[in-house]
Structure 1
Amino acid sequence: MFMSTPRFDILGQALADASRTRMLCELLDGRSYTNKELASAAGVTPPTATAHLQMLQSAGLVVSEKRGRCVFHRLASAEVAHTLEQLAAIAPSDHLHRAQQRKAGQLAPLRSCYDHFAGPLAVAMTGRFVELGLLVERNGGFEVIPAAEWDRLGVVLPGRPGRQPFARPCMDWTERRLHISGPLGRQLLSHALDAGWVKRQSVKRGLLLTTPGRAAFEQIIGLDTRSVVPELSPS
């Protein structure tokens, strides 16, 4: 009986180019970008970027949507984003990326990974949840314990378990420690943006932690954000 096998070779071909991986990293913030923007991020010409994007689309990693006169590209799904973040945790970083990270400044302490928090602050937040008993690590995953703190953080807990985990552990690629993804991670980031606790930077995945955000995390879960993000960001 013939059994189909995953086509890892197709994914391997799609990821086997530094320009394409830079485009994927740019798309990891969950937003959509034009061909020209991704070409700039990858350091290639727009025609070359088009060819790269076609390969990424064929591999099922990226989808494109036409809006008006422009075509925007984004990651195909949250599952793709999660997989790329896990691969990044074991992949070596080249000298160019390290130079970009130094130049980015506040990008490293706090950033977004598709639809959830990432970076040192996200790892510290996750650790604090575990310390407070709001999260329990069990069987390689997280169990969420109902508590008033979740409501104050803008999280609506599910009435019953769903098909997908509500809180999924995600290996942070710079910290090599876990942060939270899944619906819980998505709600935390969404509420923080809506409440003005964090603000998106105009480029890249960096997030700016505001003064109200520092106060909220300290008051609700006792997290000393200054130990992770030392410099105050504009509120």
Structure 2
Amino acid sequence: MSIEDPRADGLAALAGLIADRTRAACLLALLDGRAWTAGELARHAGVAPSTLSEHLHRLVAGGLLAEERQGRHRYVRLAGPRVAQLVEDLAAQVPAAEARRPPRGLREASAGAALARGRTCYDHLAGRLGIVVTDALTERGLLRQDTGFALTDAGLEWFGAAGIPLGAAGRRPLARACLDWTERRPHLAGAAGAALCRRALEAGWCVRVGSGRAVRITPVGERVMSDLLGIPSGALR
């Protein structure tokens, strides 16, 4: 007599929430770490607001999204880092050929190139920018990748000296590998990745490109990354 795993129903329900193109598009868009209005997500997904409303209701009820209201506006965001990690990990399993289908027009090609150069992956840096920074941290002995992602003692000191507070230890791992879907290599995530990204945006080392996830390094950021990690400016563009 077989005994069914009690998690089976929950896993099936979770998979069903994600297994819809419109809901998947919303989850991927929200990987920029910001709150979006229902109207913004409807336009992004290419569906009517009334259609999107039902999808958002299911995602909120399923615990994947959190809802906020300010006056007449309704905002949604990913429910937290664990949801972002789930979406990131699933998206990274999309075959490379499918993830890199030919762009439909110049605008989409330009947007795709910008995302590949640098973007936020929920709350940390990704794309070529994220990989270059991760490699520099590793090469300088600040981050270890051989036994799983972990900051070294020198790495902990480096974050403090660079004015990037890591905060108190919590349930979230300090450093975590996140497989980059454009580079097909891991970049730095976790609390340390989030702290570095937050500092980069607040200090103007990086700026957002348009209203999406793409970011680019600034001249100030190039100088800072050269001083802190010895990264040549051309490697970050």
Q: Which runs of 5+ in 2 are unaligned?
A: none
Measured at CA, do residues 67 and 96 of structure 1 come closer, stay the same or move farther in structure 2, by a change above 3 Å? farther
SS of equivalent residue, structure 1 residue 146: helix
Runs of 4+ in structure 1 off by over 2 angstroms are 1-4, 92-101, 137-141, 143-159, 161-165
Higher helix share: 2
Residue 156 of structure 2 is aligned to residue 134 of structure 1: no
Structure 1 residue 228 displacement after superposition:
4.4
CA distance in 2, matches of 1:12, 1:69: 32
Q: Deviations over 1:97-119 (max 9, x none)?
A: 84475231422211001111111
Measured at CA, do residues 225 and 84 of structure 1 come closer, stay the same or move farther in structure 2, by a change above 3 Å? farther
CA distance in 2, matches of 1:36, 1:157: 35
CA distance in 2, matches of 1:85, 1:185: 14
The normalised TM-score by structure 2 is 0.87
Q: Deviations over 1:77-103 (max 9, x none)?
A: 111101111111111445778447523
Pick aligned residue for 1:210 from 196, 218, 230: 218
CA distance in 1, matches of 2:208, 2:16: 32
Q: Which residue of the partner structure matches residue 53 of structure 2? A: 50
Q: How do residues 156-235 of structure 1 correspond to structure 2 at under 5 angstroms? A: 156-157=165-166, 162-229=170-237
Structure 1 residue 56 displacement after superposition:
1.4
Structure 1 residue 152 displacement after superposition:
4.4
Structure 1 residue 3 displacement after superposition:
6.0
Structure 1 residue identity aligned to 2:178: C
Q: How do residues 27-42 of structure 1 correspond to structure 2 at under 5 angstroms? A: 27-42=30-45
Q: Deviations over 1:45-69 (max 9, x none)?
A: 1001111111212221111111111
Structure 2 residue identity aligned to 1:223: I
Aligned residues: CA RMSD? 2.3
Measured at CA, do residues 188 and 203 of structure 1 come closer, stay the same or move farther in structure 2, by a change above 3 Å? same
Q: Which residue of the partner structure matches residue 77 of structure 1? A: 80
CA distance in 2, matches of 1:94, 1:122: 19
Residues 171 and 178 in structure 1, CA contact (< 8 A), matched pair in contact too: yes
SS of equivalent residue, structure 1 residue 90: coil
CA distance in 2, matches of 1:61, 1:106: 27
CA distance in 1, matches of 2:100, 2:5: 42
Structure 1 residue 208 displacement after superposition:
2.3
